[in-house]
Structure 1
Amino acid sequence: MTFTTACLAINTSMTAAGIEDGRLLRSVSKSGKVNRDTLSDWAVWSVVEQSSKQIGIEHFGAHDLRRTCAKLCRKSGGDPEQIKFLLGHSSIQTTERYLGSEQDIEIAVNDNLGL
């Protein structure tokens, strides 16, 4: 799934659920009505844990999602300082550990020097 496809799916879901602002993940009553209440940390963790096991990933945690978010933001041109704020880090060094140091061989850092 591409980033654009994922965004469209999220927007469609938000529109169908009547969510105009606030948190994306909300609790749903047994009758299917979307509540204004947000999901608890435990509920989110439970969904992530069950979903990862269904696709064959045994050891998967919330920080895996945070690292993936950080790396996707960086890959799409996000500034590390802004990613730091997004993740709630007090130190840029923590954010840099999340981002890792992957080299993009197709677009080398020195390709645009003009030499």
Structure 2
Amino acid sequence: MASLAVEEIQQRENRWVIADLRGKSGRIHTVAVPVLVKNGINAWQTAAKIEEGSLLRSVNKVGKVGESLSDWAIWPVVTESARQIGIERFSAHDLRQTCAKLCRKAGGDLEQIKFLLGHSSTQMTERYLSSEQEIAVAVNDSLGL
């Protein structure tokens, strides 16, 4: 995300996406951007007066916006946020796994979560989800029988 350019945020099929992300093994996929996230991006672009180039940029002590931001500049912000909510041991993959689990819990289709994460197979996505049976809300409750 540190190298994300404004130009990579595009409209496709009437929604905002991060277009043509290159993942592991050179696979390219597109990620839908939730409206709340796009609103935050718009607010940042307006405040920082960013129209093109790198979206995420440094801000110095006097408020001057720089030209870019490194991965290593982002990581302390993420880990401090995790620490503030009580998570001491944390990795970047935890973010992906949590995203996948939240999408699934909200009713997301396994195949669509696979695309979101850029996995080549649903088996990999299933491993990410490490699914457990939910007895209290069983999947067959909604059959209407």
Deviations 1:65-100 (A, max 9, x none): 111100111122221112112112122211101112
Whole-Å Cα distance in 1 between the matches of residues 80 and 100 of structure 2? 23
Look up the match of 1:71: 101
- For structure 2, which runs of at least 5 residues remain unmatched after alignment? 1-34
Look up the match of 2:32: none
Are positions 1:87 and 2:117 aligned together? yes
Instruction: Tell me which amino acid in the other structure corresponds to 2:42.
Output: T
Look up the match of 2:44: 17
Q: Would you say how many aligned residue pairs link Structure 1 and Structure 2?
A: 106
Structure 1 residues 89, 96: CA separation in 2 closer, same or farther (over 3 Å shift)?
A: same
Look up the match of 1:49: 79
CA contact (8 A) 1:84 1:90 kept: yes
Look up the match of 1:98: 128
More strand as a share of residues: 2
Percent identity over paired residues: 62
CA contact (8 A) 2:45 2:51 kept: no
CA contact (8 A) 1:48 1:61 kept: no
Whole-Å Cα distance in 1 between the matches of residues 101 and 40 of structure 2? 24
CA contact (8 A) 1:84 1:92 kept: yes
Out of 61, 64, 71, the position equivalent to 2:91 is: 61
CA contact (8 A) 1:27 1:35 kept: yes
More contact order relative to length (CA 8 Å, sep ≥ 6):
2
Look up the match of 2:141: 111
Whole-Å Cα distance in 2 between the matches of residues 16 and 104 of structure 1? 40
Whole-Å Cα distance in 1 between the matches of residues 51 and 134 of structure 2? 36
- For structure 1, which runs of at least 5 residues remain unmatched after alignment? 1-6
Question: Which deviates further from its counterpart, 80-89 or 104-113?
Answer: 104-113
Taking only aligned residues, the RMSD between alpha carbons, in angstroms, comes to: 3.2
Report how far residue 64 of structure 1 moved.
Answer: 0.9
